Amino acid sequence: MVKKKACVFISGSGTNLRSIISNSRDYNFPINICLVVSNNKKAKGIIYAKKFSIPHMSLSANKYDFEKTVIKTLNEKKIKLICLAGFMKILSKKFIREFKGEIINIHPSLLPMYKGLNTFQRVLKSKEKFTGCTVHFVDEKLDNGKIIIKKRVIIDKKDNVDTLKKKVQFQEYKAYSSAIRKIFSSG
C-alpha cells in the first residue's frame, strides 16, 4: 500500500501524536507521519517525534510567520493530511483555504456541543450524563467542520476533570486512528 504523507500539529503533551505514530507503523495504516509541527518550543510531545526519528519543527513565531514557514515546508514535503492533535493556535482562514479538505482536528466533546475551551469543566458543571470526543474536518469556523467520527463516554457521579479527561483521551486515541482509516477507505 502506498501511504499518504501526513503531519501532526501539537502544542502540548502529544499523547494523541504518540498514538497516531504508533498506529501508523502498521503496514495497512493509510498514512505515514512525515513531520511534526509545534507552535510551542516547550511542547512535551516533541519527544515522540525525536523518539521515532520524525522530522519536527517548533516555531514560537507570530501567526503570519508561523504559517508562512509551515506552508512552505508542507508543500515541499507534499503533505496530504494535516492532523491537529491538541494544537491550541487558531489557524488563519488563508491557511485553512490553502489546505481545504486536508485538515482534521480532535476535540474533547461530542460536537456540536461544547465547542471551545475547558470542555470537561463545562460538561461537569452542566451535570451531563455523557460526553466524548469528535474528529472532524476543519473549516473556517471554530470546531465546526464535517464530523468524521464521535466516541461517547459515560460520566460517573464521582468523575472530576482529571478522571473525565483520562476517560475521554482513552477514546480519543482510538477515534483519531479510526477517523484517518475512514477518510482514506471512502476514497
- Residues in the interface with ligand GAR (CB under 6 A) total 15
β partners of residue 57: 37
Treating both helix axes as pointing N-terminal to C-terminal, what angle do 15-24 and 161-185 enclose, rounded to 10 degrees?
A: 30
Contacts of ligand GAR in 18-77 (CB under 6 A): 45
Known catalytic residue: 56? no
With binding defined as CB under 6 A, does residue 13 bind ligand GAR?
yes
CB of 34 to ligand GAR, least distance (A): 19
Which positions ≥6 away from 97 have C-beta within 8 Å? 140
CB of 151 to ligand GAR, least distance (A): 11
Q: What three-state secondary structure class fits 62?
A: coil
The nearer residue to ligand GAR, 30 or 86, going by C-beta atoms, is: 86
The nearer residue to ligand GAR, 11 or 186, going by C-beta atoms, is: 11
CB of 170 to ligand GAR, least distance (A): 10
CB of 133 to ligand GAR, least distance (A): 6
Q: Per-residue contact track with ligand GAR, 87 to 106, x per CB under 6 A?
A: -------------------x
The nearer residue to ligand GAR, 12 or 69, going by C-beta atoms, is: 12
With binding defined as CB under 6 A, does residue 179 bind ligand GAR?
no
The nearer residue to ligand GAR, 17 or 34, going by C-beta atoms, is: 17
- Long-range contacts from 145-150, C-beta under 8 angstroms, 24+ separation: 145/105, 147/111, 148/104, 148/179, 148/182, 148/183, 149/175, 149/178, 149/179, 149/182, 150/110, 150/111, 150/175
Q: How far is the CA of 56 from the CAs of 28, 46, 95, 105, in angstroms?
A: 24, 7, 19, 19
Give dist(CA 185, CA 177) in Å, integer. Answer: 12
With binding defined as CB under 6 A, does residue 134 bind ligand GAR?
no
Strands 147-154 and 130-137 come out as antiparallel
Q: What is the DSSP letter of 145?
A: S
Residues that bind ligand GAR (CB under 6 A): 10, 12-16, 45, 85-86, 106-108, 133, 169, 172
Indicate which residues carry an active-site annotation: 107
